Amino acid sequence: YLPALAADWLQGPYLYKLYQHYRFLEGQIAILYVCGFASSVLFGLVSSSLVDRLGRKKSCVLFSLTYSVCCLVKLSRDYLVLAVGRVLGGLSTALLFSAFEAWYVHEHVERYDFPAEWIAVTFSRAAFWNNVIAVGAGATADFFAEWLGLGPVAPFMVSIPLLVLSGVFAVKNWDENYGKKRAFSKTCGDGLKCLLSDRRVLLLGAIQALFESVVYIFIFLWTPVLDPHGAPLGVVFSGFMAASMLGSSLYRLAISKRYHLQPV
């Protein structure tokens, strides 16, 4: 899981810079970003059903393959090819944040019958190392792109061996497991019913959607705002990730037994 996350984070600092390097206009770059976001939304709707039917292990291997192709197409300067790469990136992101966790939870509960309360500990540790890797990924991307002078495509190429490592590790060491096969229409129908029947769920969803919208706007704009001033993009990205890590730490501290700032 950690090499997969590292490969994902490595691609954050230089995506906009790469498209700019290929001489695309801001409007064209915006469309490429929208392709990726829209793909992530569409595949996110079906990813849980797809993962359960295909198998969690196979889905993790599929992730490593699709994301590797997504990275390889960054070598092309063809706009349509890059748009297809963004669609593949959306599919890969949906698989990354569903297949690995689903595989783990099934192994933990069904195969090994470990105590359920250990799951939270595992996810907490995974989140911590995810933050550490994100900070390191920014510095690593900067090293390959700027210090070695390999250009903005370099971090995407560096991601490929990590994706291959993740896929090979899953093939060699993991057992396959499957989820319950439910109709896609029923899954979506149940979710929609839950959303509309409880006002708190609807409000929470609306707040999160608005927040994510702001984050996506920020993701698109930070590079063209800072790059003209000569800011080292990888180091800046590491700063963002360190701030995110600090926020997570403050949240854990706030809800600890010492401060009891529990949400109600």
Q: Is 92 exposed, middle or buried (0-12, 13-18, 19+ CB in 10 A)?
A: buried
What is the domain extent for residue 51?
Answer: 1-253
Residue 238 lies in a domain: yes
pLDDT, position 11: 95
Residue 20 lies in a domain: yes
Per-residue pLDDT of 113-132, as tens digits, reads 999 999 999 998 998 899 99
Residue 262 lies in a domain: no
If you search the block for the tokens 């971090």, which residue do you land on? 155
Counting every residue, how long is the chain?
A: 264
CATH code: domain of residue 35: 1.20.1250.20
Residue 261 lies in a domain: no
Per-residue pLDDT of 187-225, as tens digits, reads 778 888 888 899 999 999 999 999 999 999 999 999 999
Q: Which two tokens stand for residue 27?
A: 């409007």
Binning the chain into helix, strand and coil, the percentages to the nearest 5 are: 80, 0, 20
Residue 201 lies in a domain: yes
pLDDT tens for the chain, residues 1 to 264: 999 999 999 999 999 999 999 999 999 999 999 999 999 989 988 888 889 999 999 999 999 999 999 999 999 999 999 999 999 999 999 999 999 999 999 999 999 999 999 999 999 899 889 999 999 999 999 999 999 999 999 999 999 999 999 999 999 999 999 988 777 777 778 888 888 899 999 999 999 999 999 999 999 999 999 999 999 999 999 999 999 999 988 988 888 888 878 766
Contact 198, 106 (CB under 8 A): no
pLDDT, position 56: 95
Residue 211 lies in a domain: yes
Domain count along the chain: 1
Residue 213 lies in a domain: yes
Q: Which two tokens stand for residue 60?
A: 């993790």
Residue 260 lies in a domain: no
pLDDT, position 185: 75
Instruction: Give the CB-side neighbour count of residue 65, counting CA atoms within 13 A.
Output: 8
pLDDT, position 264: 67
pLDDT, position 155: 97
